[in-house]
Structure 1
Amino acid sequence: MSERLQPGDPAPAFTLPDADGNEVSLSDHRGRKVIVYFYPAALTPGCTKQACDFTDNLELLAGAGYDVIGISPDKPEKLAKFREAESLKVTLLADPDKKVLDAYAAFGEKKNYGKTYMGVIRSTFVVDEEGKVEHAFYNVRATGHVAKIIKDLGI
């Protein structure tokens, strides 16, 4: 498991397919701030709430200079269904081999009802214009998280 990222660390570079199979790289967003969030699975209640919250606040975030990218281990086809079902406007990327999840330490040991298992750690990172981590939030809640980020960023 990778070390957790800290503010000031370079954000691990990535290139992943989006819901339409097009390659999207973190470097495509150089010069803009990027909110990269990791979520366990498309079309599940918590992840839907979070993706809808980001979509609902996309205009506000974009106006403040932020792009938003959501990454999960789902395949592009499932992301396309998720986007259509929920009318999502955020960029959704597929990381089925979990290499990017791992690079951001967003995949690891979790506990639920006393059981320990490996899974996606719901996490959000704010990457600055130079590609450095400005904020690293681990174990975030799906509900209310977007409002908290907006408040923390002073938007």
Structure 2
Amino acid sequence: MFMEEVELFAVSALHNTATSPRLKELKVQQENDEVISRVLQYVRSGWPTYLPSHEILLRPYFECRSRLSTIDDILVLDSRIVIPHAERLAVLDKIHSGHLGITKCRSRAAQSVWWPNMSQQIAEMVKKCESCRKESNVQQPLSFVLSFLVVLGKN
């Protein structure tokens, strides 16, 4: 349900329509997240030319600062909602709920959410998943190899 709300928010924000209570909760969580609240300050007031060395946790955000903005006071990267640290595991679970594999989970996430190292965390979650490991060990048809052998006349 949450992923659908996030996708709906991304679309509705562009059309200035109402958002759900869950997204209002996400806004509060962003404001309470120590790192994201600092990022929000920089997005609103402007980033420095160089990030101070004591702001090491902001480095991933600084590197993509030109793509960060707010929609209805919610931090977004392009049109993707920046997920606060406290919500990331729950969002990972939603992304992975269909046991789609690394590539499809990454693709699903890339449509609506973002946080630093998200892609790596998705890969780690899928690699640790027993169901996904079993599914990935199933032999896939070797259609390319078979068609190549047919071309060579070795059928």
| TM-score, with structure 1 as normaliser | 0.24
Higher relative contact order (CA 8 A, sep 6+): 1
Instruction: Return the structure number with greater strand share.
Output: 1
| TM-score, with structure 2 as normaliser | 0.24
Bigger Rg, which one: 2
Instruction: Return the structure number with greater helix share.
Output: 2
